[in-house]
Chain A
Amino acid sequence: MKPIHLLFLGLLALVFSGCATTLPPKDYTELRRSNPHSILVLPPLNETTDVGATYSLLTTTTQPLAELGYYVFPVAMVDRYFKENGLNLSGEMHQVPLDKLREVFGADAVLYITIQEFGSKYQVLASNTIVRAKAHLADCRTGVTLWEGSAQVVYSGQSGLLEAVVTQIMNKFIDQSHGVAAMASVQLFLSPGQGLLKGPRHPEYGKN
């Protein structure tokens, strides 16, 4: 049990440090005005050399966005649809005009994510895993930017024995960078004052 507790504590620290930014709250005027009910998440652009980054991050976005109260289009099906229509790279998918996306998917808003850093740097006795990404949400009808955000999560494995056990546990069940990607998604969309507002399907919709 002990290692798990530690793991939680470490993650808590991470989340809270992400939470406790001193950035001024975002201006949500356009988001409120547009009031999107559904979000189409396009496979993220990948500026890193890690070929797995795009789908690692993509497959962590549904839960936080849906729990916020938005309808999230099935990410892998959407990806498949593009590929069946000859668009294989996320860069090509990001170039599709909004009116076309609206026609095909019926989405209210489209989320464009760019991954800027992804993966682990190994040192002698420890490793750092980092995921850094930025995103913007566009109104699918007007093209107006409704929200912009960024996230950076660093997971540091240190040289202590317990830390090593923790790291081992993380590695056992899921690769570490994917775990950090999941945290980056949570930070990106849910950080108070920086993430997205609660959507129409949230019980507290309209209260923030």
Chain B
Amino acid sequence: MKISWRLLPGLLLALVTGCQTARPVYYWGNYEPTIYQSYAKPGKNSVDEQILKLQEDVTKAAAAGLSVHPGLHAHLGYLHATNGHNDSARKEFEAEKNLFPESAAFMDRMLKQLETTSAK
């Protein structure tokens, strides 16, 4: 039953765009619900728990043969940086940039910010 609800946004998407044929481009898992939770119930899920959920998405996307969606690696990087794990953060920001060059300016800014925090 839980799964059925999770499928809903995708179903809705498919329906609305149905007239124009739509196949999901990306794998959507925990990203939006996890971020929503962090606003609606701050502290309910620890940063580590959030990281695990998003890493699960990366794995499942690969298994489903779908691409990782915009923002997933970036947000993972941000969570790692929150934990002070700058090396992991750097890898994720680079991954976002490689997958989505549109993010380059913002990711470069984040990478630069990491340098200044690790220099401290």
Contacts and interface: CB of A to CB of B under 8 A. Distances in A.
Contacts of A190: 13, 16-17
Interface in A46-91: 52, 55-56, 59-60, 62-64, 66-67, 69-77, 80
Given A52-B40, A67-B25, A77-B74, A106 B16 contact: no
B39 A59 contact: yes
Given A38-B102, A67-B26, A201-B25, A186 B74 contact: no
Contacts of A202: 25
Q: Chain B binding site: helix, strand, loop or mixed by DSSP?
A: helix
Interface in A3-50: 4, 8, 11-12, 15-16, 18-19, 37-38
Nearest to B105: A106
A63 B74 contact: no
Given A59-B32, A186-B12, A187-B16, A71 B75 contact: no
A19 B16 CA distance: 7
A178 interface: yes
Contact of A67 (B13, B32, B96, B109): B13
A66 B26 contact: yes
A39 B35 CA distance: 18
Contact of B1 (A4, A16, A77, A192): A4
Give the bracket for the number of chain A residues in contact with chain B.
35 or more
B21 interface: yes
Interface string B76-110: 00100000000000000000100010111110011
B103 to A, nearest CB: 7
Contacts of A167: none
B106 A106 contact: yes
B26 A71 contact: no
B53 interface: no
Interface string B14-50: 0111011111111010011101101110000000000
Interface of B: 1-2, 4-5, 8-9, 11-13, 15-17, 19-26, 28, 31-33, 35-36, 38-40, 69-71, 74-75, 78, 96, 100, 102-106, 109-110
Interface of A: 4, 8, 11-12, 15-16, 18-19, 37-38, 52, 55-56, 59-60, 62-64, 66-67, 69-77, 80, 103-106, 108, 169-170, 173-175, 178-179, 182-183, 186-187, 190-192, 201-204, 208
Given A70-B70, A203-B25, 4 more contacts: A104-B109, A108-B102, A169-B5, A191-B16
